[in-house]
Chain A
């Protein structure tokens, strides 16, 4: 009887040791991120903050060792912008294909004072032991905006038309009421959207703006909406007030809830610019990212 008990105990200890050995085996580091349209518009010359969420398949990997980070930059084939890491914050656990991932927010500051557009942007983080990671983060654009000093043109009503396209909540239109506060006619010569992925693909003058934000845009425009229709040049005359619908086209289809824009206009022969740096048109509280959209990178062992 005693022999049997000893045998069972030995078996249990052996199983426990094997379990510990398997558990302690180093796991390959896998990381991924959701590709986004990262965009910064700013007026002041302060450093701008950028938050990039990164998913890592283990906690306490060297990737998240703040003190080990030597250098960080965002780049494409032609440009490099140095950024400074400020903080790494653990957010929560997520399950991807039944594997645990840990979501971290990496906070950076950018001290770059010029316009830049990177339709395909990569984040590189270099560590003190010469290891580095490079991730495709989507796109990156930055616009330095001059503050409008004139009050002859203004926007008094503003909202978005948001439709679901290919499973993504998409800002397909901007509805605005433009007001001429001056006494003479204003000629709008150009409207630009402040994001590398977006452009104006159509314009329509509306009778009123009593339109729900989730209305199908095809009920408002004459030709069916296409995400990548050709760009349209906008020219408008504003006497007193005008309701307009700007149709938003996309070079790359990202979910862009926040957008700024500029109006170049002519008033009494003077060329001026009205800028709306950023407006949050919508917030998607329950967003789904197909796993097929994610790129997984392996970066050795800890």
Chain B
């Protein structure tokens, strides 16, 4: 009897796993609410089925040791709508003024979405997108901070009754996608699909709407 209980307890430890549910994101990238391909129509990783991904992964041959990556496409132009930087609505009958100089924008210049067990370090062996732009005759000035102030000087915005003031960010970027597998002695240990979005330009927009 004791051994049965012990076996059951051990089984619980082995098979027990916390339920995991990722935060919903329409694009698979938290900072973008919308991503549109400029030149052609393609699916984002978030819209691909597991069968489609498995089909592509099956095409990667097993190797003795190391990571094999198959690029589906690299640095395709996209336009994005970012999540809202800030929004202030006024549901009162009085107008109010707020100073948005303290507001900050948090975003990454490279956003990553991964499906599967593959890790980003394994897939990022190709040149970084900024290197692709760096010609011999120029130096690249890539801003690397991921947390920055939008404004250094203050700006007062008046929000009138039943109105909402929003600062939005839209822009252009480059998207890359591929599949990777990690092998050791021809045995696959990790596999998955990944997608990276590199922000090239951000355009800021101050908008007043009805609250």
A interface residue numbers (CB < 8 A to B): 34, 40-44, 49, 92, 94-96, 147-148, 151, 154-160, 162, 169, 177, 181, 212-214, 258, 260, 276-292
Contact = CB atoms under 8 A, between A and B. Distances in A.
A170 B178 CA distance: 34
Contacts of B204: 159-160, 279-283
A148 B208 contact: no
Interface stretch (B3-11, B13-21, B130-138): B130-138
Contacts of B130: 286
B143 A283 contact: yes
Which of B139, B151, B165 has the largest number of chain A CB atoms within 10 A?
A: B139
Contact of B203 (A160, A288, A290): A160
Given A157-B206, A159-B205, A279-B155, 12 more contacts: A157-B205, A177-B208, A214-B172, A258-B151, A277-B153, A278-B155, A283-B204, A284-B200, A286-B130, A287-B141, A288-B135, A292-B137
A34 B141 contact: yes
B132 to A, nearest CB: 9
Interface residues of B, number: 40
Nearest to B132: A286
Interface string B141-160: 11110000011111110101
A151 B205 CA distance: 21
A42 B201 contact: no
A95 B139 CA distance: 7
A214 B158 contact: no
Contacts of A43: 153-154
B201 A169 contact: yes
Which 8 A-B pairs have CB atoms at the shortest separation, nearest pair first?
A156-B208, A213-B203, A159-B205, A158-B206, A287-B141, A288-B138, A278-B153, A283-B202
